[in-house]
Structure 1
Amino acid sequence: MDASMIPRMELEKFAHDEYKVPLLNLEHYPLDSKYFVIQNRDNYPVKDYISPHRRKFYKIFHMTAGTGVLIIGLHRYEMGPNEIAFLHPDEIMAWQTTSEETGGHFCLIHPAYFEHDADHVLHLLRQYPYFKPANCVVRLNEAQSANINGNFEVMLNEDRGDNVDKKQAILLQLQMMLLEAQRAGRTRPEKTVSEGYGYIYRFLSLLESAFKVQQRDSIVKLKTAAEFADQLHVHPNYLNSLVKSHTGKTLREHIQDRLLYEAKSLLVQTDWDISEISDGLGFSGQAAFTSFFRKKANLSPSVFRKSTLAPANI
């Protein structure tokens, strides 16, 4: 189909006509994800979601069947079979399926997967031209799509197998896939999303930028809903109404959910004392942090930490 013939519609109209679930329903990647995750869509159907936080993973997904809408940053793509998307860890992304069928693969790759023996592949990902919102979707011809589907199948089989050199095989297939997509090199035309979604994107970006707890003396300077609205030069009521209508949650709920996710992440991924985590997240004391955590998660921080996997598996 000629690119000019691809149907386009405004985001609000699309949401009203097509969305069967609340628009941009939030979903976090599991805290216990491995450094490399690969799945076949036949066994792991795609779900509608938005991922507003730093994911730490590069994500690549290839479509062999079905259609959907990808929003990455302030860019919108209507995707279909024989297309591949490259999603950088730092970008806000959303996906909405628009067909009953779905086919293909996806993989999540943590930078730590490349440590010690594959720094050159990590460098390749960091320099790869399609991990950018403005050209993150590549259209493939039938042969290129078949080759990339084969790369994914080999990586999937190697990941599930017990060969001692399976990581080497996976990395070779990954590089071949990147090369094939780069040769295709034609990105699908994108459409900038509406002003309303732009405010949502910028709010989520500001919220995310507040969470930079990387060492023990880091302190989150969390803003109120009114302060976020002031930064965006809009009235708090307007921003709250806009965000709630599209995500089903208020500004305050998003702030608290993000705070809870960061708390869980620090409990799982670090060996910091709970008092240190409490201080880093800006609570007045450990008792206040424990009260907040218990109210949101229905268990105490210490019980949550004991029930999760060890930090080495993150």
Structure 2
Amino acid sequence: MKSKSIDEFYKEISEESKIESSALLPSGIQKEIGHFNVFDIKELWGNLKKIPVMTYDRRAYYKISLIRGKNKVEYADREIDIESYALLFATPKIPYHYVPQDSLQSGHFCVFTSEFLTKDKSGIDLDKLPIFQTDGYPVFQLTEEEVIAIDLIFKKIHQEINSDYVYKYDLIRNYVAELIHIGQKLQPVTALYSKHNSAARVSSLFLELLERQFPIESTRQRLELKSAKDFAFRLSIHVNHLNKVLKENTGKTTTELITERLIHEAKVLLKETDWNISEIAYSLGFEELAHFSNFFKKQTALTPLSFRV
């Protein structure tokens, strides 16, 4: 399972907003400067009766959002309630789930790749900024005065991206850097962190990631998340914490749950397809046929070939 790319981002919001992808793309952007775009939330989703829920994914781009409205931001091990205004920073390192709580949503957000804001172009090293570290949950509560100031920066970005100014992207980088520095000066809304149901959420997200890999429908399709370590990395939590939570909520370890699902899929593929066993082994993430055969026999007391007959 790969991080959601910029192309997938445009496809998703085009489907949700009913706006053609070509109409969402900025004009004149050069590939060598990376990708950047900015959106007005009301213009994008204002005609919808219900604002779309952002799925829990790891994304291959950065995102800064000025949020007006009641919302909930869910990470693997905690959630943050937004009652009115917030500034949210999203990084490819931390997957999250964004859930609007009402239809009165407005504000702005911009998306950009690391190539757009490299240190030599902006003077900013994204990987070293505290606001984009994996141990942070950068959602910041705002006052009305702060909202007005940040809204003005986003309006300047909107104005500039539609201009014919030759150096507009250099100017936009300065505006993005200003947003980042504003965020780093703000205090996180730690009082709004909710941990009482974090174990249930971790379990739910794990099962969602596990099930999302199935069914295997082609010999070209291959499992990417195969171990407890893989899932813990994708959820941005420690593998020991994941094991503890799953054991408490399901009575089974991470490995046991993964094994059960792999065996179920292996049985389906052996009985319902004409793929050879090597193809099945490969699609299920096994590098060697012998490894798959040993794994299957250990769990079922049968070899894959015996089961298929």
Aligned partner of 2:56 in structure 1 is 51
Cα distance in 1 for residues equivalent to 2:225 and 2:185: 44
Q: 1:156 to 1:281 in 2, by over 3 A?
A: farther
Residue deviations 1:50-102, cap 9 Å, x none? Answer: 232x3111121111x32111112312111133311112212221121111211
The residue type paired with residue 38 of structure 2 is I
The number of residues matched between the two structures is: 211
Q: 1:51 to 1:117 in 2, by over 3 A?
A: same
1:110 aligns with 2:87: no
Aligned partner of 1:37 in structure 2 is 37
SS in structure 1 opposite 2:59?
coil
Cα distance in 1 for residues equivalent to 2:135 and 2:209: 14
8 Å Cα contact 1:87/1:131 also seen in 2: no
8 Å Cα contact 2:77/2:195 also seen in 1: yes
Shift of 1:172: 0.9
The residue type paired with residue 79 of structure 1 is I
Aligned partner of 2:150 in structure 1 is 148
SS in structure 1 opposite 2:202?
helix
1:197 to 198, 201, 205: 201
Cα distance in 1 for residues equivalent to 2:109 and 2:82: 14
Aligned partner of 1:184 in structure 2 is 186
TM-score normalised per structure 2: 0.55
8 Å Cα contact 1:62/1:83 also seen in 2: yes
Cα distance in 1 for residues equivalent to 2:74 and 2:135: 9
Cα distance in 1 for residues equivalent to 2:74 and 2:251: 25
1:81 to 80, 84, 109: 84
**Alignment RMSD:** 4.3
SS in structure 2 opposite 1:44?
helix
1:201-220 to structure 2, matched below 5 A, reads 201-203=205-207
Cα distance in 2 for residues equivalent to 1:193 and 1:62: 27
Residue deviations 1:257-295, cap 9 Å, x none? Answer: xxxxxxxxxxxxxxxxxxxxxx899599xxxxxxxxxxx
Q: 1:202 to 1:221 in 2, by over 3 A?
A: closer
SS in structure 1 opposite 2:115?
helix
1:137-286 to structure 2, matched below 5 A, reads 137-189=139-191, 190-192=193-195, 194=197, 195-203=199-207, 223=226, 232-233=246-247
8 Å Cα contact 1:66/1:99 also seen in 2: yes
SS in structure 1 opposite 2:65?
strand
Residue deviations 1:113-150, cap 9 Å, x none? Answer: 134842622x1464133655654111222222211111
8 Å Cα contact 2:35/2:112 also seen in 1: yes
Shift of 1:111: 0.6
Cα distance in 1 for residues equivalent to 2:37 and 2:118: 16
Q: 1:134 to 1:235 in 2, by over 3 A?
A: closer
Q: 1:169 to 1:89 in 2, by over 3 A?
A: same
1:94 to 90, 97, 102: 97
Shift of 1:41: 0.7
Q: Which structure has the higher relative contact order (CA within 8 Å, separation 6+)?
A: 1
| Structure 1 segments of 4+ aligned residues over 6 angstroms from their partners | 205-208, 234-239
Identity value in percent: 17
Q: 1:167 to 1:28 in 2, by over 3 A?
A: closer
The residue type paired with residue 70 of structure 1 is V
Cα distance in 1 for residues equivalent to 2:176 and 2:188: 19
Uncovered stretches (5+) of structure 1, i.e. residues with no partner: 1-26, 209-218, 244-250, 256-278, 285-314
Task: Say which is worse superposed, 198-207 or 79-88, in terms of deviation.
Answer: 198-207
8 Å Cα contact 2:200/2:249 also seen in 1: no
Shift of 1:164: 1.1
Cα distance in 2 for residues equivalent to 1:165 and 1:119: 13
TM-score normalised per structure 1: 0.54
Q: 1:202 to 1:280 in 2, by over 3 A?
A: closer
Q: 1:222 to 1:182 in 2, by over 3 A?
A: closer
The residue type paired with residue 100 of structure 2 is T
Residue deviations 1:166-198, cap 9 Å, x none? Answer: 111111111222222333324242112622211
Max Rg structure? 2
The residue type paired with residue 147 of structure 2 is S
Q: 1:86 to 1:140 in 2, by over 3 A?
A: same
Residue deviations 1:182-237, cap 9 Å, x none? Answer: 333242421126222111334567899xxxxxxxxxx9665499x98x97558989
